[in-house]
Structure 1
Amino acid sequence: MDTPTLMFGKILALYMLTAGIAFIVATPFYADLTRKADKSDAVAVNISGMVHLFIGFGILVNHFVWDSPLAVLVTLLGIFFVIRGAAYYWVPQLVLRPSEGRASGLRGMGAAFIGIGMLMGYLSFFA
């Protein structure tokens, strides 16, 4: 398998697992954080968009591959990060609106992150 695919797969797997566990373990913190994040905090919104774009562009500039399940996941996550980052700049009110701090939504997102992270981790580290 392609070395960049494995490298990005491992990094993204660890990120997804860490973030997913955080959303479940520290749900009250993230619920409060998302309640406070609104259009009035333009600097935080801008920085978050920038970070998403750097991650997404970093992946896509070095990895736009569709030849294996792991490569597809890595590329799709790169695309997701770019879309999310662009949305922070272009339509911040829509990006922040769904994040109204509902605990069940955060737990569901955490579970999804863990599931994707486990799949990517398996494909990157063991398969």
Structure 2
Amino acid sequence: MNSTVRISRIVSIYYLITGLGFSLSSDYYVTMVAHTSSDPVLINLSGMVHFFIGMTILVHHFKWKKPLQIAVSLSGVFFLLKGVFLIVLPELTLQTGNNPAQSPWIMSISFIGVGLLVGYFAYFRKYEDK
């Protein structure tokens, strides 16, 4: 199994579980996304975790030729950018919680859709890394 398939299998399950979380615990995620009374240390730790996950993906996988490669590399870029913004510009980043596009059902559908798409190619399609 190559790195693209290995990482995409992990990322697809993460997206599916996150989408399920937004669906089943929507009240909790509404509060979380609003960032009311967020602990600065936890925000920084969240930034650090996102940064490390993104950098780890990109250090081991920076491929942009095939759709699954692009999905994995984009996931790494998104994790990295979220981490950087949470560390460097936390106040600005936390203001995005008031965005109406971040309703739990939209987030749930988006995460589940991406998870199913990436998961389909990662688990059920023959993939050769060339």
TM-score by length of 1: 0.90
Structure 1 vs Structure 2 CA RMSD: 1.9
Distance 1:14 1:37 in 2: 28
Contact 1:13 1:121 survives alignment (8 Å): yes
Match of 2:104 in 1: 106
Encode CA deviations 1:15-51: one digit per residue, 9 max, x unaligned. Answer: 000001101110001112233445x521011010001
8 Å Cα contact 1:37/1:96 also seen in 2: no
Q: Secondary structure at the match of 1:117?
A: helix
Alignment of 1:61-72 (within 5 A): 61-72=59-70
Q: What does 1:1-127 correspond to in 2, within 5 Å?
A: 3-38=2-37, 41-100=39-98, 105-127=103-125
Percentage identity across paired residues of the two chains? 37
Q: Check whether the contact 1:31–1:103 (CA below 8 A) recurs between aligned residues.
A: no
Q: Which runs of 5+ in 2 are unaligned?
A: 126-130
Shift of 1:100: 3.8
* Cα offset, 1:122, TM superposition: 0.3
Question: How many equivalent pairs are there?
Answer: 125
Q: Which runs of 5+ in 1 are unaligned?
A: none
TM score, norm. by length of structure 2: 0.88
